[in-house]
Amino acid sequence: MNAKSLVFIASFAIFFLAFRVLENDLSQILVGALAVLVILWICVRTFLSTLAIAPDSGIKIANQRWLQFGILSILGLALFSLQRFFLNHSLNPTMDLGLKGIWFSCLVVGLVGTLFLDHLIQSSPLRLPRLFVRKSVNGALLLSLGFLLLFPTNYIVDRFNIRQDFSFFKTASPGGSTIKVAQKAQSPFVIYIFASPSSEVGVELRDYFEDLKKKAPLRILNVDQLAEPSLSQKLKIRDNGYVVISTEAIEAKDKPTIEDKLSKRAIRPQKIRIGTHIDDKREKEKLRNFDASVRKAMIALERGRLNIYLTAGHGELSWKGKAKPFKNISVFKKGLETYNYRLKTIDSSKGLSEKIPKSARVLFVLGPDLGLSKNEFETIKAYLNEGGSLLLAVEPRALREAKTFDEGRVDYSDALLKWLGLELEEGILLSKKGMQPVTRSAQDRMHFVTKQFSQHPSLSTLNSDRTQNYGLFLSTASTLRILNNEKRKITAVVKSPSSSWMELNRNLEKDAEESQRSRPVGVAIEGEKWRAFVVSDASAFSDFAMQNTGNQQFSLDIVNWLSRLEKQSGIISSQEDKPFIPTKEGQSLWFYGSILGFPFFILCVGIFTTRRRIRTKREEK
């Protein structure tokens, strides 16, 4: 590119930059006018120099074409100025866009043309075949018009964009728990599916309920909201994309009776909103978890909502505030809600030291850091003796004692454990097998998965479906010692792996005095009227541990057992994505295999192929 073309193009750039960068109107006009003067001066100079060249020569024609392209760019500049200074905001949007397109096209074609011809003249300054000039002009036009064509075509394609989602999607199928609820229902369920006949969401919903109908008595009614205005009005549905779950008993009555109103059961049909567009991300998510929504609605109609009280005020696990993943139980709470349980907190000010509310189906004591007071211990005892249920999850003594000591309080958690017929052993359980990489250090020996479950109604799902290969993730567990107590039926239902040992000296290594064997970590206790379940690792219920499906199923199983609803326990069917937990053993194999193994295999193939080729060539010679 020679100096002339460089200055020519730079002047255009300065002209446009002046209007974007400079804020003062006067400076914009001054810089812009200066740039225009330079452009015009270059064109006039080229015109004059063209006059001096011999007629019909290639050089003269190239200069003439350069001048023509230059004038085209000036025309683009003039149209830009016209739009900017004289027609500003006075054109309708289509005209405005059209004018923008014209000046932009003039500029692109003009400047690309000048660049091409400048390059041509520079390549052969003395003698230039006419053919080259023609080719250069054609090339410039082809390229600039090709470039310009990119914009309208991409614009049109963008306007009429078609999107197809191929990511994972599957509507949840009826889970074991939903099937049990539907099978044991006092009155068969009636399902209204509000969807247009052509709706894809409707197809998914119908498939789900047809599956359920094969295993439990159901009546399914497909309704188009527009075609059935009176029914829609009766069920208070204003749009398609809803599922309404009712029972034959509700359908048979015009109005709920007083008995219905007094019962805990829902007295009106339950609505589930899904939506009508299957491509919508939220609606896909609802379909993936549809089974949980159906079960919740059915349980609401069947037995109503049950209250669970969680003790507070002792540093327990909680769903409130911004607790750490090891102390938060939001996932557990969400899981309980799908079984229509309501989680409430209770502390000393709300009656924990006096009386647990009668509505408490289960009482949770999840990992109290500070220990229980004597009054609280007595209240819990009284609650159990009246037929209550308790889920007690304790942290190992090594993690608890320091905090209790600091507070200067006496910890009655041990007294409660003893009353239940248990004792917490000293130390923390460690295992090298089934270890989970959490900190990537020796501390990970505290984080392991156990699959040692015994046959007991409290673990009905974990025991009934061994194909799922559930495991319980424990992060800081201790051992529960079972004391002799004839009044209680105590069963160790969850044990640590046989490779585990009780770490006593905190060196995180297995020493001679630390024996390896399976030890109780989850114990079910049945008294005369009451039930209790004790876990020696409170964090097994935390959000962090709940990433493991086994922990989710375990926690719901024991809550259903404590509520005496173990017959409703079953697999939760969900097509929701689950976290992928990398394991140290599996991952190291995969790590080296993918980084070294397969690339090495490719290299071997390369060596084999090239050597065979060389050998063949030699033989041919």
Partner 1 sequence: MKNLILITQRELQSYFNSMSGYIVVAIVLGISGLLFNTMALGENPKLSYDILAGTGPRHFGFFWVMFGTTTIASVFLTMRLISEERQSGTLVLMHSSGVKDWQIVLGKWGSALVFISFLLLCSTYIPALIFINGKVALSHIAVGYLGLFLAASMSSAIGVFSSSFTKSQVISALTSGVILAFFLLSWILARSVDAPFKEFFSYLSMFDRHFGRTFAKGQIQTRSIFYFFSMTTFFLLLAVRVMQTRRWK
Binding site for partner 1 (CB under 8 A): 100, 116, 119-120, 123-124, 132, 135-136, 139, 142-143, 146-147, 150, 153-154, 157-158, 160-169, 437, 440, 547, 575-582, 587, 590-591, 594-596, 598-600, 602-603, 605-607, 609-610, 613
Among residues 225 and 436, whose Cβ is nearest to partner 1? 436
- CA-nearest of 47, 99, 64 to 78 is 99
CB 134, min distance to partner 1, A:
12
Q: Computed from CA positions of residues 585, 588, 589, 594, in that sequence, does the dihedral angle turn out positive or negative?
A: positive
Largest CA distance in the chain: 123
Q: How far is the CB of 334 from partner 1 (least distance, A)?
A: 16
SS3 category, 582: coil
146 or 229: whose CB is closer to partner 1? 146
Report whether 62 contacts 118 (CB < 8 A). Answer: no
User: Minimum distance from CB of 11 to partner 1 (Å)?
Assistant: 21
Minimum CB–partner distance for residue 594 and partner 1 (Å): 4
Distances (CA, A) of 259 to 249, 262, 266, 471: 13, 5, 12, 44
Structural contact between residues 399 and 429, judged by C-beta atoms closer than 8 angstroms: no
Q: Which is nearer to partner 1, 164 or 484 (CB)?
A: 164
Residue at 417: amino acid letter: L
SS (H, E, C) 588-620: HHHHHHHHHHHHHHHHHHHHHHHHHHHHHHHHH
Cβ atoms within 10 Å of 584's Cβ, excluding its own:
15
Please, what is the Cα angle at 90 between 86 and 94, to 5 degrees?
Answer: 115
Minimum Å distance from CB 599 to partner 1? Answer: 4
Q: Which is nearer to partner 1, 40 or 605 (CB)?
A: 605
Minimum distance from residue 316 beta carbon to partner 1 (Å):
24
Rank residues 410 and 607 by Cβ distance to partner 1 and give the closer one: 607
**For residues 136 and 476, which CB has a smaller minimum distance to partner 1 in the complex?**
136
Pick between residue 405 and residue 591 the one whose CB is nearest to partner 1.
Answer: 591
Q: How far is the CB of 445 from partner 1 (least distance, A)?
A: 16
The distance of closest approach from Cβ of residue 581 to partner 1 in the complex, given in angstroms and rounded to an integer, is 4
- Please state, in angstroms and as integers, the Cα–Cα distance from residue 163 to each residue in 157, 169, 189, 203, 226, following that order: 12, 16, 38, 21, 28
Smallest gap from residue 100 Cβ to partner 1 (A): 8
Strand 501-503 to 428-430 pairing = antiparallel
Which amino acid is present at 565?
Answer: L
Instruction: Yes or no: say if 218 and 187 are a contact pair by the CB < 8 Å rule.
Output: no
Shortest distance, position 50 Cβ to partner 1, whole Å: 20
Residue 20 or 255: which CB sits closer to partner 1? 20
CB atoms within 10 A of CB 312: 21
How near is the Cβ of 153 to partner 1 at its closest, in Å? 6
- Smallest gap from Cβ 216 to partner 1, in A, equals 27
* Choice between 10 and 603, CB closer to partner 1: 603
Neighbour count for residue 316 (Cβ, 10 Å): 22
Least distance to partner 1, CB of residue 610, Å: 6
Rounded Cα distance, 45 and 103, in Å: 24
Measured from the CB atom, the residue of 141 and 218 that comes closer to partner 1 is 141
Residue 316: which of 80, 583, 539 has the closest Cα? 539
Residue in 362, 341, 376 with CA at minimum distance from that of residue 531: 362
Nearest CB to partner 1, comparing residues 226 and 589: 589
> What is the smallest separation between the CB atom of 499 and partner 1, expressed in angstroms?
23
Least Å distance, CB 547 to partner 1, is 5
What span, in angstroms and rounded, lies between the C-alpha atoms of 290 and 386? 38
Provide the terminal-to-terminal Cα distance of the chain, rounded to the nearest Å. 53
Q: Which is nearer to partner 1, 357 or 593 (CB)?
A: 593
Structural contact between residues 367 and 405, judged by C-beta atoms closer than 8 angstroms: no
When the beta carbons of 62 and 298 are compared against partner 1, the nearer one is 62
Rounded to the nearest whole angstrom, what is the least distance from the CB of residue 598 to partner 1 in the complex?
A: 6
Sequence-distant (6+) residues with CB within 8 A of 262 are: none
Query: In this structure, which amino acid lies at residue 539?
Result: S
In sequence order, the 6+-apart residues with CB closer than 8 A to the CB of 578 are 547, 549
Is residue 268 classed exposed, middle or buried when 0-12, 13-18 and 19+ CB atoms within 10 A define those classes? middle
Closer residue to partner 1 in complex, CB, 136/452: 136
Residues pairing with 308 in the sheet: 343, 362
Query: Which two structure tokens, joined as six digits, stand for 216?
Result: 């439990």
Closest CA to 308 of 48, 580, 565: 565
Nearer to partner 1, 51 or 602 (CB): 602
Which amino acid, residue 249? A
- Do the strands 428-430 and 270-273 form a parallel or antiparallel pair, or are they unpaired? unpaired
Amino acid in the structure at residue 533: F
Q: Is the separation of the CB atoms in 338 and 332 below 8 Å?
A: no
Chain centroid, CA 440 distance in Å: 25
Closest CA to 204 of 215, 192, 193: 193
> Nearer to partner 1 by C-beta: 329 or 493?
329
